[in-house]
Amino acid sequence: MTTMPLTPSQRLRSIFSGSAGNLVEWYDWYAYSAFAIYFAPHFFPKGDPTAQLLDAAAVFALGFLMRPLGGWLMGLYADRHGRKRALVLSVLLMCTGSLLIAMAPGYERIGLGATVLLLFARLLQGLSLGGEYGTSATYLSEMADRAHRGFWSSFQYVTLIMGQLIALALLVVLQQAVLSETQLESWGWRIPFAVGAVLAASALYLRRTMLETDSFAAARAQREDKARHGSVRELLRYPREVLTVIGLTMGGTIAFYTFTTYTQKFLVNTGGFDKAEATLVSAGSLFLYMLLQPLVGALSDRVGRRAVLMGFGALGTACFYPILNGIADTTTVVQAFAWVMAGLTITSGYTAVNAVVKAELFPAHIRALGVGLPYAIAVAVFGGSTEFLALWSKQVGHESWFFAYVTACTAISLLVYATMRDTRHHSRIDRDRDMSDNQQ
């Protein structure tokens, strides 16, 4: 474990290794959503397509319930034993979940056992992802230099989106060039989960070669001097920061899951597009959305994190309802792409900076837990239920209720952004480094 200043090449290599592992984790997580329209009939009783997608969305939501547990356990592990060790463990858990889904027999063979097996795999992946977010956000933020922290930490969402994009790209290739619709529905949906397991092996190698952060090394030395250990009790000494994480996450995570994972189903189920067209719209918009992340992250290094979050909150409150209504009423692929891209562009004001904002709120000895646990709670409650609520509102004949829900939650987060301090100017990471330099 190094305590010497990192060279630019060491910093870049470590950021790349952490980001590559993050990509694999999120690819595995999003493969479920991308291929749900094909595998849902295999794990649930026969019914109308909306009912089966609703069942799949319910399992997706239940997987989110494990994320607070993962944020707690992996956050504690990362704060006590190192960011690197926690990141290696999380990718192993995700790989196991993907293998289970790839090999699981269907409902026609083992009945309810298939549903239970799918649920167990998703719970395992939720545990992994709950720890991945807080630890990777902490790692990238601590590895980045002060002047470009917003830029470098935004790569958490670059790789997060890239993971989703790769899952969608694989779906496009399988749809357009490799398998027929019947083959995809029969067995082809298993391919992406097997691919995820293979990718995890390379991610594991990269993460084993990462350097530990200086912030963790300094925090461990200080902890040994003062007997301060990361724990939920210690975290509760920072109630304002915990509530800030929950509040700033609520609107952002709902917007993110609305315009990413739910868009494909929304276009098919409400817009009347076929599955291939919906996949192409999702893939194209996600690619441009991915490119926006470092640009918005770099902007936050100049104008501040709070200003960028305020832009997201204000534009989202004003525009999300008409954007969602526009997607529902659109009749062409070009129009659909434009509406989805508008929603994603606004959402970039949250996704590009939220990781660094959360990391800058907490001191190093409690940072991974502070970022991971309250974020996972907010995502479990709000992000995990997004698809379910969207499909439910359609099923009961009041889809516009969901549009209003997304708008209202964004407005609540806007109030948080308006009252919080700008972490670019009040960063705990900088304070910790300054204290460490003074002690040396």
Q: Average pLDDT per run of 10 along the chain, which is 440 residues long?
A: 58 74 80 77 68 67 76 81 80 83 79 80 82 80 80 86 84 82 82 84 76 69 56 85 92 92 84 82 90 94 93 95 92 92 96 89 84 86 84 86 94 94 80 52
Per-residue three-class SS string for the chain: CCCCCCCHHHHHHHHHHHHHHHHHHHHHHHHHHHHHHHHHHHHCCCCCHHHHHHHHHHHHHHHHHHHHHHHHHHHHHHHHHCHHHHHHHHHHHHHHHHHHHHHCCCHHHHCHHHHHHHHHHHHHHHHHHHHHHHHHHHHHHHHCCHHHHHHHHCHHHHHHHHHHHHHHHHHHHHHHHHCCHHHHHHCHHHHHHHHHHHHHHHHHHHHHCCCCCHHHHHHHHHHHHHCCCCCHHHHCCCHHHHHHHHHHHHHHHHHHHHHCCCHHHHHHHCCCCCHHHHHHHHHHHHHHHHHHHHHHHHHHHHHCHHHHHHHHHHHHHHHHHHHHHHHHHCCCHHHHHHHHHHHHHHHHHHHCCHHHHHHHHCCHHHHHHHHHHHHHHHHHHHHCCHHHHHHHHHHCCCCHHHHHHHHHHHHHHHHHHHHCCCCCCCCHHHHHHHHHHHHC
Structure confidence at residue 439 (pLDDT): 47
Structure confidence at residue 29 (pLDDT): 77
C-alpha distances in Å from residue 175, one per residue of 135, 268, 341: 35, 15, 23
Q: Could you confirm whether domain 8-213+239-439 is CATH 1.20.1050.10?
A: no
Domain boundaries, the chain: 8-213+239-439
Structure confidence at residue 2 (pLDDT): 43
Q: Helix 400-419 crosses helix 305-329 at what angle (to 10 degrees)?
A: 170
Eight-class DSSP state of 213: P
Cα 158 to Cα 288: distance, rounded to the nearest angstrom: 11
Structure confidence at residue 219 (pLDDT): 65
